[in-house]
């Protein structure tokens, strides 16, 4: 972190002026509303569970559920101008339920944690060259989850312990002589 | 009270269309801003016409906003669209025609952070163009593309200015490095530039302020490249890292790292932009008048003298047309827009368009090709504690190394690489690590700081056959005929691109960097946003449009001070050269006008 005491008084005045301008029109973030905007309640529960399985809460930091990844994805899909992503997500979730029926004789959310894990392992097994619709959906699901999580407050600060986006007196790194 | 840093724009004079200004400058980017600065400093009364709007840039950029404080993490609104690579390659022109979105933007606005610059760039629906594939990025607002530029600020050398003497291709520039060096110095000192001295004849040093620092992997690559006789130098950034005592509108750089994070923009103006670097100080002289929302569509002519009389423009809000008059007209609307303006300016005196007796306007159009590059992992950095690696305005630059003393058998000219490495706000490892669960998260953490990448910028040869002209049918929102592209990469570019990706891989492998991906594909024409040529300088009025002072061979009081004047593209980024040439030419114009010779 930059040592604020190292800034000259004049520099602090400049920066405060810049920050005041930068902050004056900050948009509001999405409020965590009760009802999902795009997904049905059942679909939302499934997305919430799937994203948490991809980036779980662990000893290092809270996961996708705590970072409200499903809330963010739901909001983006609700405002999507195109119908295609909406269709793909709905279709993907129903395929996962169908696969869960085929593998375990029950829908995804009714399956045991071990059964859910087995299903996810199966659709993730061909990640580099996905072929089936379920494998393609896993890529979409994981990419969206990663994007939402690593741009979230928890993802940036707790999980990645990102140190930047601060005012520095001196550049970081190694000086070329 | 005197504040060193005052981001507010001073009041501009109201435009007076009854008077004859000393000069009209068309465009307010790097070239137009410089022309306004230099001409007003000589005491000339200047009218600056900007096609775009007045914009409070500080309200747009918000450099330090966290992604999670933006409703779409920096993405553009849902009813808008940014053209993607496939669309540039396969969609019919004009690209945005028939698209259902409320606004369509260029590809850059599709990157994370596009929402912060969407009001700076043009709406493709209002500004159509036709012809061959071209990813044309245009910014219309005070300052133009300098508000969001990449900031790599490099000098050209006589390897570039005297390219024909070196390999026989094309034309030499009508100037040498010695002619321009004093003006590069002036630009360095007036605007500030960060870098490290390397004493390379093919990439001359600037008068640098404090250099940025390198990451551990960049230091390692620098040492490895030195053994190959190649150089990795800290990003030469058009950023004031020590501050500028003579400019009250700009702060020094505080390494916030926003430069690398998103689509441009520095709201403390440590990075050069034309408004705070050039135009506001010019307003402070009292000699500058600015008219925004003023799209020039014709350079008007005095039929008796054959000289330029002024500029006709349309008010983009009202659609009304006006003519502003001046003793000299200085075009700085960008390489392609300035050429379009000449071609549109047809009269009895100039039936091919003003300044176009050579027939070369629009031709010899060139740029930098992009695409080939490499991404890798530095094994020693896997699993190391988190470090702050993006607290700086750029990464690194690898200058050209081909066709200096040797002659490559497959292609002429050269390329350089821009690169970066280490921990970033969005981890490079997140979309690379496989699997899911805690093991995935750990892999993302362990590898985030180990990534290093670089991408090439290669010289596209200036060819007469690569050109733009006016589309006979398609017009923009204001009824101004659109530009039509006839532009393709040739054999030299394809062979150079193959060498770029092979050399990038080789350099990483020599340094022991594990290769993750090698990019071989050339991106769509235009991707580098470095359009050059179209009105080249030269000594022969039959094969060039401008003389060495960017003055029309045909019309003595008409100058073109933007990238249109460049004779060849070089492989170095053009902005610093554009500004140095503009300074030199405007000094010359002021001198001519004092003597009554223009």
All residues of chain A having their beta carbon less than 8 Å from the beta carbon of residue B441 are: 55-56, 58, 60, 63, 159
- Do B4 and A14 count as a contact with CB atoms less than 8 A apart? yes
Instruction: Specify the pLDDT at position B597.
Output: 85
Instruction: Specify the pLDDT at position B9.
Output: 62
pLDDT > 70 fraction of chain A, expressed in percent and rounded: 81
Instruction: Specify the pLDDT at position B55.
Output: 86
User: Residue B168: is it exposed, middle or buried by C-beta count within 10 angstroms (0-12/13-18/19+)?
Assistant: exposed
- Give backbone dihedrals phi and psi of B370, rounded to 5 degrees, phi first: -130, 165
CA angle A144, A150, A155 (to 5 degrees): 135
- Give backbone dihedrals phi and psi of B468, rounded to 5 degrees, phi first: -120, 150
All residues of chain B having their beta carbon less than 8 Å from the beta carbon of residue A164 are: 256-257, 388-391, 423-425
Buried b vs exposed e over B375-407: b needs ≥16 C-beta within 10 Å?
bbbbeebeeeeebbbbbbbbbbbbbbbbbeeee
Q: How far is CA B391 from the centre of its chain?
A: 23
Instruction: Specify the pLDDT at position A5.
Output: 38
Contact partners, residue A59, CB within 8 Å, separation at least 6 = none
All residues of chain A having their beta carbon less than 8 Å from the beta carbon of residue B389 are: 164, 172-173
Q: Is the pLDDT of residue A29 over 50?
A: no
Instruction: Specify the pLDDT at position B59.
Output: 85
- Nearest by CB to A173, which of B79, B214, B436? B214
CA angle B223, B227, B232 (to 5 degrees): 45
Gap from A120 CA to chain B (nearest CA, Å): 9
Question: Which residue on chain B is closest to A57 by alpha carbon?
Answer: B438
Gap from B578 CA to chain A (nearest CA, Å): 29
In this structure, what is the dihedral angle of CA atoms B99, B101, B105, B106, given to the nearest 10 degrees?
Answer: -40
A161 interface with B at CB cutoff 8 Å: yes
Reported as a pLDDT band with limits 50, 70 and 90, residue A72 is: very high
Determine the Cα–Cα distance for residues B28 and B562; give it in Å rounded to an integer: 11
A152 interface with B at CB cutoff 8 Å: yes
Instruction: Specify the pLDDT at position B240.
Output: 98
Q: How far is CA B341 from the centre of its chain?
A: 19
Kindly state the tokens that stand for B394: 């750029």
- Nearest by CB to A150, which of B6, B391, B430? B430
Q: How many other β-carbons are positioned within 10 Å of the β-carbon of residue B318?
A: 8
Give me the sign of the Cα torsion angle B360, B176, B500, B444: negative
Residue pair B572/B160 in contact (Cβ under 8 Å)? The answer is yes
Q: Is the pLDDT of residue A10 over 60?
A: no
What is the pLDDT tens value at each position of chain B, 598 positions in all? 233 445 556 666 688 999 999 999 999 999 999 999 999 999 999 999 999 988 888 888 888 999 999 999 999 999 999 999 999 999 999 999 999 999 999 999 998 889 999 999 999 999 999 999 999 999 999 999 999 999 999 999 999 999 999 999 999 999 999 999 999 999 999 999 999 999 999 999 999 999 999 999 999 999 999 999 999 999 999 999 999 999 999 999 999 988 877 676 899 999 999 999 999 999 999 999 999 999 999 999 999 999 999 999 999 999 999 999 999 999 999 999 999 999 999 999 999 999 999 999 999 999 999 999 999 999 999 999 999 999 999 999 999 999 999 999 999 999 999 999 999 999 999 999 999 999 999 999 999 999 999 999 999 999 999 999 999 999 999 999 999 999 999 999 999 999 999 999 999 999 999 999 999 999 999 999 999 999 999 999 999 999 999 999 999 999 999 999 999 999 999 999 999 999 999 999 999 999 998 8
- Nearest by CB to B7, which of A17, A23, A163? A17
All residues of chain A having their beta carbon less than 8 Å from the beta carbon of residue B251 are: 11, 14-15, 18
Contact partners, residue A114, CB within 8 Å, separation at least 6 = none
Rounded average pLDDT over A90-105: 98
In sequence order, what are the beta bridge partners of B537? B546
Gap from A46 CA to chain B (nearest CA, Å): 16
Question: Which residue on chain B is closest to A143 by alpha carbon?
Answer: B431
**Strands lying side by side in the sheet with B368-377:** B233-234, B396-398, B415-421, B451-459, B368-377, B514-519
Instruction: Specify the pLDDT at position A13.
Output: 43
A3 interface with B at CB cutoff 8 Å: no
- Nearest by CB to A151, which of B219, B426, B448? B426
Listed in sequence order, the DSSP H helices in B319-418 are 335-344
SS3 state at B475: strand
Determine the Cα–Cα distance for residues A138 and A132; give it in Å rounded to an integer: 10
All residues of chain B having their beta carbon less than 8 Å from the beta carbon of residue A152 are: 67-68
Determine the Cα–Cα distance for residues B15 and B288; give it in Å rounded to an integer: 10
Reported as a pLDDT band with limits 50, 70 and 90, residue A12 is: very low
Instruction: Specify the pLDDT at position B13.
Output: 66
Local structure of residue B48 (DSSP, 8 states): E
A18 interface with B at CB cutoff 8 Å: yes
Q: Can you tell me which residue has the tokens 């500058």?
A: B288
Determine the Cα–Cα distance for residues B371 and B128; give it in Å rounded to an integer: 25
How does strand B368-377 pair with strand B451-459? Answer: antiparallel
Quick one: which of B355, B350, B415 has its CA closest to B564? B355
Instruction: Specify the pLDDT at position B56.
Output: 85
Instruction: Specify the pLDDT at position B265.
Output: 84
Residue pair B66/A153 in contact (Cβ under 8 Å)? The answer is yes
Determine the Cα–Cα distance for residues B120 and B138; give it in Å rounded to an integer: 9
């Amino acid at each position: 972190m930059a040592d604020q005491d190292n800034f000259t008084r004049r520099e602090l005045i400049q920066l405060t002026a810049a920050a005041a301008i930068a902050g004056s029109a900050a948009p509001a973030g999405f409020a965590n509303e009760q009802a999902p905007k795009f997904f049905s309640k059942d679909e939302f529960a499934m997305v919430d569970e799937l994203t948490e399985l991809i980036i779980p809460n662990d000893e290092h930091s809270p996961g996708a559920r705590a970072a409200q990844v499903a809330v963010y994805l739901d909001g983006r899909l609700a405002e999507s101008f195109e119908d295609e992503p909406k269709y793909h997500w709905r279709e993907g979730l129903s395929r996962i339920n169908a696969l869960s029926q085929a593998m375990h004789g029950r829908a995804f959310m009714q399956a045991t944690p071990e059964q859910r894990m087995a299903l996810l392992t199966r659709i993730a097994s061909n990640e580099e060259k996905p072929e089936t619709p379920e494998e393609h959906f896993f890529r979409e699901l994981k990419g969206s989850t990663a994007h939402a999580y690593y741009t979230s407050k928890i993802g940036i600060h707790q999980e990645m312990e990102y140190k930047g986006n601060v005012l520095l007196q001196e550049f970081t790194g190694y000086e070329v002589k | 009270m005197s504040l060193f840093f005052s981001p507010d724009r001073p009041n501009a004079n109201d435009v007076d269309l009854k008077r004859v200004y000393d000069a009209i400058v068309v465009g307010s980017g790097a070239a137009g801003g410089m022309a306004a600065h230099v001409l007003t400093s000589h005491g000339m009364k200047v009218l600056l016409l900007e096609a775009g709007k007045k914009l409070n840039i500080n309200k747009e950029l918000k450099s330090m906003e966290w992604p999670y404080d933006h409703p779409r993490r920096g993405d553009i609104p849902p009813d808008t669209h940014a053209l993607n690579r496939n669309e540039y390659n396969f969609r019919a022109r004009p690209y945005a025609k028939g698209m259902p979105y409320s606004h369509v933007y260029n590809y850059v606005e599709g990157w994370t952070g596009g929402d912060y610059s969407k009001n700076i760039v043009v709406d493709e629906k209002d500004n159509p163009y036709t012809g061959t594939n071209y990813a044309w990025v245009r910014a219309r607002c005070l300052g133009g593309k300098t508000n969001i530029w990449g900031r790599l600020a490099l000098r050209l050398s006589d390897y570039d200015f005297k390219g024909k003497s070196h390999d026989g291709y094309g034309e030499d520039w009508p100037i040498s490095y010695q002619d321009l060096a004093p003006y590069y110095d002036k630009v360095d000192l007036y605007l500030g530039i960060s870098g490290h001295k390397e004493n390379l004849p093919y990439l001359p040093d600037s008068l640098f302020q404090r250099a940025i620092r390198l990451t551990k992997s960049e230091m390692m690559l620098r040492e490895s490249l030195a053994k190959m006789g190649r150089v990795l130098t800290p990003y030469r950034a058009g950023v004031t890292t020590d501050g500028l005592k003579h400019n009250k509108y700009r702060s020094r750089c505080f390494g916030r790292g926003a430069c690398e994070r998103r689509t441009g923009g520095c709201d403390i103006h440590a990075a050069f932009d034309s408004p705070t670097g050039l135009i506001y100080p010019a307003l402070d002289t009292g000699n500058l008048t600015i008219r925004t929302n003023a799209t020039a569509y014709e350079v008007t002519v005095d039929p008796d003298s054959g000289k330029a009389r002024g500029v006709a423009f349309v008010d983009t809000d009202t659609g009304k047309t006006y003519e502003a008059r001046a003793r000299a007209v200085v075009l700085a609307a960008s390489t392609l827009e300035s050429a379009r303006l000449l071609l549109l300016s047809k009269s009895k005196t100039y039936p091919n368009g003003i300044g176009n007796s050579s027939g070369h306007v629009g031709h010899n159009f060139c740029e930098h090709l992009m695409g080939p590059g490499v991404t890798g992992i530095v094994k020693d950095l896997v699993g190391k504690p988190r470090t702050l690696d993006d607290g700086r305005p750029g990464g690194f630059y690898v200058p050209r190394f081909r066709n200096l003393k040797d002659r490559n058998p497959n292609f002429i000219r050269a390329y350089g690489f821009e690169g970066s490495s280490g921990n970033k706000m969005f981890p490079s490892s997140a979309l690379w690590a496989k699997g899911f669960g805690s093991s995935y998260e750990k892999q993302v953490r362990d590898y985030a700081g180990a990534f290093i990448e670089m991408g090439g910028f290669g010289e596209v040869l200036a060819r007469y056959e690569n050109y733009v002209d006016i589309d006979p049918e398609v017009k923009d929102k204001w009824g101004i005929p659109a530009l039509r592209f006839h532009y393709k990469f040739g054999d030299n570019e394809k062979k150079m691109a193959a060498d770029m990706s092979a050399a990038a891989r080789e350099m990483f492998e020599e340094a022991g960097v594990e290769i993750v991906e090698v990019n071989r594909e050339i991106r769509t024409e235009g991707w580098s946003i470095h359009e050059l040529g179209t009105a080249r300088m030269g000594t022969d009025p039959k094969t060039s449009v401008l003389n060495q002072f960017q003055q029309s061979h045909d019309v003595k009081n008409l100058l073109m001070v933007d990238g249109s004047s460049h004779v060849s593209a070089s492989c170095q980024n053009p902005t610093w050269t554009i500004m140095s040439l503009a300074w030199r030419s405007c000094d010359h114009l002021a001198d001519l006008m004092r003597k009554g010779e223009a």
